[in-house]
A and B are shown apart, each in its own frame.
Chain A
């Protein structure tokens, strides 16, 4: 190869090299930003999804606690439809007592106040009434996720209460904390 051609090749190669270095520098910033954004987004999505399970669990425990209190109050008291209505309204309205009952259950297994307050801040207490069905002879209340307690009345008197769903209640059947998915660099 003659010297002139070799010179041209060297110049071309220098130009290619410089261009590659420029592209590399440009991509460096892009990669860094993509990596940070991608990681942060996926972490946030997972934490949101994960925390939502604890929020749903808290709310389910709120319904569960109210349902047990209602069953006990109705069975302890007058056992009438009127007593049921009064008890239900009083239990739902007493938000301090509801928080206390949930907090007591969480504390019983050593979950500290900071963790409880963190979940409570996001979950609050269930706003909707737990009364799902309200007929003269038949009433149903929610007692958590996929859990219903049934009260039957005859002429305003309690005939029976079916709280077998509460006795068999298992939150792990309806809620689950998922393992983190594989990270995707995108």
Chain B
């Protein structure tokens, strides 16, 4: 009778040990999976954020560059410049400085161009002043020379609206 009980107990133990085989494998697999997911998900999240931010930066940057380059080929005065700005950034308008004979367009603080004009013109009927004779388009800010461009803007004043 005793032997029979021992036999039954041992049989139960054998099945228990077999069950442990599978549980053990599954436990390590779960741990490895958790480690994998923790590291890869963190990387996916961080890198996706950087990737998307850069693509967003390009969207604004390319529009600002496009204004600068198209201006050099087509713009004659600040009215033309205003139309060009509206083509790429309908919601943002540049500002004119009659004193400095410049028009500054700022898509955001990192995407700024400053157009330099040769002369001030005044509409005799309306008295509205504008700038004509595009000389150059300063893209220092786009090139990363933020300080130099910011300093050059000091003392500028708003011109009249076109």
Contacts and interface: CB of A to CB of B under 8 A. Distances in A.
A6 B4 contact: yes
Nearest to A182: B33
Contact of A111 (B53, B109, B136): B53
A21 B24 CA distance: 13
B137 interface: yes
A32 B29 CA distance: 9
B56 A27 contact: no
A175 B48 CA distance: 11
Contacts of B146: 104
A44 to B, nearest CB: 9
Contacts, number: 173
Interface of B is mostly: helix
B51 A177 contact: yes
A76 B29 CA distance: 63
A170 to B, nearest CB: 7
A111 B72 contact: no
B80 to A, nearest CB: 15
Interface in B15-37: 17-18, 20-21, 24-25, 28-29, 31-33, 35-37
A24 B24 contact: yes
B20 A103 contact: no
A104 B24 contact: no
Contact of A36 (B10, B32, B53, B143): B32
B144 A20 contact: no
B32 A38 contact: yes
A74 to B, nearest CB: 9
Q: Identify the interface centre among B4, B17, B31: most chain A CB within 10 Å of its CB.
A: B17
Contact of A75 (B20, B72, B143): B72
Contacts of A101: 142-144
B83 interface: no
Nearest to A100: B144
B64 to A, nearest CB: 9
Given A20-B17, A28-B24, A105 B139 contact: no
A21 B18 CA distance: 9
Interface stretch (A121-129, A133-141, A161-169): A161-169
A107 to B, nearest CB: 7
B47 A51 contact: yes
Contact of A69 (B13, B54, B57, B143): B143
Given A17-B13, A101-B143, A47 B3 contact: no
25 contacts: A6-B3, A10-B6, A10-B10, A13-B7, A13-B10, A27-B24, A28-B24, A50-B43, A50-B44, A61-B54, A72-B65, A72-B72, A101-B142, A101-B144, A103-B144, A106-B53, A107-B110, A108-B110, A110-B53, A111-B54, A115-B50, A163-B69, A170-B58, A171-B55, A179-B44
Instruction: Across the A-B interface, give the 8 residue pairs with the lowest CB-CB distance, nearest first.
Output: A108-B110, A104-B144, A180-B40, A35-B32, A100-B144, A39-B32, A35-B28, A109-B53
